[in-house]
């Protein structure tokens, strides 16, 4: 069974930091895309950051470049999102997702990823 489990969300003041984790279970593909998405109330879901598991540089939405960093620990089958200099507009439910079908880039975010976690809430107060 393929499963993604996020953790690490919470509440923080503007300028603070959080690190999200996404543990993936049951994925046997040699290479696949993993990404972080977020959705704020009343807004569409948007891609935030992604990476190719198996090799490749990470990629980011313009709104988070320089503030967020995505990384992976292959030994732990875990994807991380380090979020620094958080802003109130970063407040959203954050989801990790995985899919083996796409070329891993921000262009893949327009497609519906196959596997999703349940999400973790990030709230940034001003």
More confident residue, 10 or 74: 10
Confidence of residue 70 (pLDDT cuts 50, 70, 90): very high
What is the C-alpha to C-alpha distance for residues 55 and 32, in angstroms, rounded to an integer? 9
The whole-angstrom separation of Cα 51 and Cα 72 is 9
Res 104: pLDDT: 94
Whole-number Å distance between alpha carbons of 14 and 87: 5
Q: pLDDT by residue (tens digit) across 72-110?
A: 998 899 999 999 999 999 999 999 999 999 999 999 999
């Amino acid at each position: 069974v393929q499963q993604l489990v996020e953790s690490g969300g919470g509440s923080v003041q503007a300028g603070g930091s959080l690190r999200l984790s996404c543990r993936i279970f049951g994925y046997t593909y040699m290479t696949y895309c993993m990404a972080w998405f977020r959705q704020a109330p009343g807004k569409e879901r948007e891609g935030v950051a992604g990476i190719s598991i198996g090799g490749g540089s990470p990629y980011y939405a313009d709104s988070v470049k320089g503030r967020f960093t995505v990384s992976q620990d292959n030994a732990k089958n875990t994807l991380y999102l380090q979020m620094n200099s958080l802003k109130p507009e970063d407040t959203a439910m954050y989801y990790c997702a995985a899919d083996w079908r796409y070329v891993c880039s921000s262009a893949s975010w327009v497609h519906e990823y196959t596997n999703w976690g349940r999400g973790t809430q990030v709230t940034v107060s001003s």
